[in-house]
Amino acid sequence: MVMDVAVKLTLAALMFFGVLNLAALHTWLERKQSAIIQDRIGANRASILGFRLMGLFHPLADAVKMFTKEDVVPAGADRALHTLAPIFSVFFALVAFAAIPFGDRLVIGGRVIELQIAKIDAALLYVFAMLSVGVYGVILAGFASRSNYALLGGLRAAAQMISYEIALGIAIIGVVMIYGTMDLQELVRAQGKHLGGWIPLWGIVVQPVAFLVFLTAALAETKRAPFDLPEGESEIIGYFVEYSGMKFGMFFLADFLETIMVACLATTLFFGGWQVPYLMRDGFHFPWGATLPIAQWAYVLLGIASFSIKVVVFCVFFMQLRWTLPRFRYDQLMTLGWLGLFPISVVNLLATGLALAFFKG
């Protein structure tokens, strides 16, 4: 019993260490990548003892700044809700990570450890529930600020997230239908087969349309450019206008956490999670017949590395998209969601169902 708790705590610590550090690195990535795309150098002035490390100390400096800034609560605002909103956002963004499997099962001394904080049968539902509850943080922030701009921003965010969640959910049902499970660990395990021994049967191979819809809708869920209408720092401003200091920082953190969450989901659902092509539990089985047996710990480590690399690549890709595309207009956003992604995802769902009925039945 004590061991079980210890194992779970270790897993949680590992996951959150990785995720929170990745979120901090996102601020660095955001600055540097945008700078390099735009032929600039980017933030590189923060230094410790003269070492600048390509601006890697800037996240640290940011944190110090956020914590030491004055925390302003507008006059007449609901003080409790105003404080609760950012906590809400960060909490539910973090909690969703519990269901993400980041490696295959590890067997140590007869104890089977699934590399996943919480083994939930309906993990997918759980993740989306947590992401949906995140909307409350946003609305609460807009509502509790007692500012019309913040309220409008919060409403924009709510409308956007609710509209895109539908396309998101329907796109994912296709994947669930094919692999026949909502348990993310099982879903990843089901992606370990290969088509004709060559092509790994990842979600992207069997559900390419769903992947595109999912990617677009998920980007909209993260409230980042090109779907950053809820924020629009430079002109329309959003739900966190009235926030300062670490409370603002927490919204920022929640944003980055959601981006990482979406990267994790895209990896898990469409890119085989911790699967490495041609790697089985007992070693590599290459399509040309060769085999390369490896130890269990190497297999699990390769899986974790594979998962991490895929997630980071997705994060970089999202960042690249963010610095490529201009913001949508609000009517375009709604048109794309309801008249574009929603019908496509429904048609995809029907096609998947028909295909399954013909080929499996």
Partner 1 sequence: MTLVAVKVLHRRELTIWEKLYIPQVLGGLRVTSRHLFRNLFLHTAHRLGLLAYLPAAVTVQYPEVLRRFETRFRSRHRLTVREDGTPRCVGCMLCETVCPAKCITIVAGEHPDPNVEKYPVRFDIDLGICVYCGYCVEVCPEDAIRMDTGIVDVAAYSRREMQLDIHELMNPALRKPIGDCSLGFPHQCGIAGGQMKGDWSVARGDTTPPA
Residue 340 DSSP one-character state? I
Q: Is 50 in the site for partner 1 (CB under 8 A)?
A: no
| Closest residue by Cα to residue 253 from 21, 17, 45 | 21
Minimum Å gap between C-beta 160 and partner 1 is 17
The one segment of 8-16, 29-37, 61-69, 84-92 that binds partner 1 by CB under 8 A = 29-37
Q: Which is nearer to partner 1, 37 or 48 (CB)?
A: 37
- Binder of partner 1 out of 84, 129, 212, 313 (CB under 8 A): 212
The one segment of 4-12, 38-46, 138-146, 275-283 that binds partner 1 by CB under 8 A = 38-46
| Closest residue by Cα to residue 63 from 253, 241, 316 | 253
For residue 85, give both structure tokens: 């909103």
Quick note: the x/- pattern for partner 1 over 323-342, rule CB under 8 A, is xxx----------x------
Q: Is 291 in the site for partner 1 (CB under 8 A)?
A: no
Contact 217, 165 (CB under 8 A): yes
- Binder of partner 1 out of 12, 321, 334, 356 (CB under 8 A): 321
- Binder of partner 1 out of 13, 41, 53, 60 (CB under 8 A): 41
Q: Is 13 in the site for partner 1 (CB under 8 A)?
A: no
Question: 222 Cβ partners below 8 Å, 6+ apart?
Answer: 255, 258, 259, 262, 318
Q: Is 46 in the site for partner 1 (CB under 8 A)?
A: no
Give all strands (DSSP E) within 102-152, no chain letters: 103-108, 111-115
Q: Which helix (H) or strand (E) holds 315?
A: helix 296-322
Minimum Å gap between C-beta 318 and partner 1 is 12
- Distance, CA of 299 to CA of 307 (rounded, Å): 12
Region of 215 (left: φ > 0; alpha: ψ -120 to 50; beta: rest) is alpha
For residue 50, give both structure tokens: 């003269």
- Binder of partner 1 out of 10, 47, 148, 320 (CB under 8 A): 320
Q: Is 39 in the site for partner 1 (CB under 8 A)?
A: yes
For residue 186, give both structure tokens: 């099982």
Quick note: the x/- pattern for partner 1 over 144-183, rule CB under 8 A, is ----------------------------------------
- Binder of partner 1 out of 11, 23, 26, 33 (CB under 8 A): 33
- Binder of partner 1 out of 6, 17, 21, 40 (CB under 8 A): 40
Q: Which helix (H) or strand (E) holds 285?
A: strand 283-285
Q: Is 313 in the site for partner 1 (CB under 8 A)?
A: no
Q: Is 347 in the site for partner 1 (CB under 8 A)?
A: no
For residue 243, give both structure tokens: 């926030």
Q: How many residues of this chain interact with partner 1, rule: CB under 8 A?
A: 15
Minimum Å gap between C-beta 39 and partner 1 is 5
Residue 200 DSSP one-character state? E
Phi, psi of 113 (to 5 degrees): -115, 115
Could you tell me which residues are beta bridge partners of residue 292?
A: 284
User: Sheet holding 279-280: strands in order across?
Assistant: 279-280, 283-285, 291-293
Q: Is 38 in the site for partner 1 (CB under 8 A)?
A: yes
Could you tell me which residues are beta bridge partners of residue 227?
A: none
The one segment of 34-42, 57-65, 143-151, 300-308 that binds partner 1 by CB under 8 A = 34-42
The one segment of 156-164, 195-203, 305-313, 320-328 that binds partner 1 by CB under 8 A = 320-328
Q: Is 10 in the site for partner 1 (CB under 8 A)?
A: no
Q: Which is nearer to partner 1, 35 or 182 (CB)?
A: 35
- Distance, CA of 341 to CA of 140 (rounded, Å): 28
- How long a stretch of residues is the chain? 361
Could you tell me which residues are beta bridge partners of residue 285?
A: 291
Give the residues lining the site for partner 1 (CB under 8 A): 33, 35-41, 212, 320-321, 323-325, 336
